[in-house]
Structure 1
Amino acid sequence: MPTTTEKKAPKRGRPREFDRETALCAAMELFWRKGYTATSISELCAAMGINSPSLYAAFGGKEALYEAAIRQYQETNGPFVWGGFSEAPTARDAIEALLLSSAEVLPRRGKPLGCMVTLASAGDEGHAELKALLVELRSHTLQRIRERLERAMAEGELSRDVEPQHIARFYAGVQQAMSIQARDGATREELRATARLAMKAWKTVTEASR
């Protein structure tokens, strides 16, 4: 029995668990803003509110964390860009919706400018697996546009003689260029003007690709 002068040791509760999604979103924004190489583990820990052992235990390391952050970006930001594309009744309307939505999203206040996937350079900095991932993710834009054009051909909106891959590359390139311009300070209004000019070329590119 302890005497009255002895103090009982305080009970230790379970260590506080961090919110994984919140921490991942913090890492995503830091990577998005600074890039893979320029972002240090200490900066990631500070942004995520965890220590280094917790980061490695939860995510497996910097490269794995970056991959998770890129996928988180796709899941959280993709719907803002692609929602109108998916709902549009024609291929032309779909591509116009994609470009105009991009003009709204890419220069958003309170977020890093431009598209994290488009602007990512980790693959060119000696990280082969990340390069393969980024090439795959960037190809999704091209693939979705091409598939929508192929559907338009099947439905009679476009001639079966057009080359959907060429048209898809043109409009995917416009969207990627808008991301670079947004990072360099282009305004929403300027990007919307770019989108509208690109759509004025619709008739020309759908005929010239035959």
Structure 2
Amino acid sequence: MAMGRPREFDVDKALDLALQVFWSKGYEGASIADLTETMGITKPSLYAAFGNKEELFRKALDKYVDGPGGYFQVALAKPNIRAVVEHMLYESADAVTGPDHPPGCLAVQGALTCGDAAESIKQELVARRAKGEQDLRERFERAIAEGELPEGSDAADLAAYLSAILQGMAVQAAGGTTREQVRKIAEMALRTWPPPPDLATV
């Protein structure tokens, strides 16, 4: 006799559906009933496959970072700092206004409505955003060392500024701002970006 029945659903597809729910409703706004209904599975199946709601959210967040949020790491790998910033801003604008998923950013949306009961999730999202800002700072430090940014540029300040722009674009998109309008924010940020040293002195 078999020791247990195989799962009757596609775990990866179910995780994709859970991601959409969390993205749309935030962590606390997404109830277990919302999740199981959208995923097409029972509560026991959800717990058996994913642990609990918190673990399901963490798995969905990982999937988001590797999928819709993947532009961030792609941008960091660009060969010059202008390309890094352009890719990050424009791809973010497109990602937070994509027609195939909820508007905004899961990492931002998930934390905005977290209360005391979801403190661990809130702290994880804060830590992930801090890691992203640290990655930016290190990339800017490299650009300064390689002479791509004006002497005296502050990598930490630039990373904080760009992070704030990206998060603000996500909040704007979640509130209904169109892609065209969000891309204008990206364009404005690029117009204020420090020029390379050779152009700054022209």
Q: Deviations over 1:126-171 (max 9, x none)?
A: 1222122101111133122211111111212124532110111111
Q: Give yes or no for contact 1:107–1:188 (8 Å, CA) kept in 2.
A: yes
Number of aligned positions between the proteins? 192
How far apart are the structure 2 equivalents of 1:100 and 1:122? Answer: 23
- 1:45 pairs, out of 16, 36, 41, with 36
**1:151 has 2:142 as partner:** yes
Runs of 4+ in 1 over 4 A off after TM superposition: 13-16
TM-score with structure 1 length normalisation? 0.83
- 1:18 pairs, out of 9, 30, 33, with 9
Residue 174 (structure 1) shift: 0.6
Q: Give yes or no for contact 1:103–1:191 (8 Å, CA) kept in 2.
A: yes
In structure 1, the residue matched to 2:114 is 124
Change (3 A) 1:34 1:124: closer
Q: Give yes or no for contact 2:111–2:121 (8 Å, CA) kept in 1.
A: no
**1:30 has 2:25 as partner:** no
| Root-mean-square deviation (Å) | 2.1
Identity rate, percent: 38
| Aligned amino acid, residue 98 of structure 2 | R
How far apart are the structure 1 equivalents of 2:72 and 2:178? Answer: 17
Q: Deviations over 1:71-122 (max 9, x none)?
A: 2211111224542x13432212211210011111111112100111012227
Which ranges of structure 1 fall in alignment gaps of 5 or more residues? 1-12
TM-score with structure 2 length normalisation? 0.86
Query: For residues 53-68 of structure 1, what are the structure 2 equivalents within 5 Å?
Result: 53-68=44-59
In structure 2, the residue matched to 1:113 is 103
How far apart are the structure 2 equivalents of 1:51 and 1:29? Answer: 18
**1:196 has 2:187 as partner:** yes
- 2:78 pairs, out of 88, 101, 111, with 88
Query: Over alpha carbons, which structure has the higher Rg?
Result: 1
- The alignment partner of 2:69 has SS state of helix
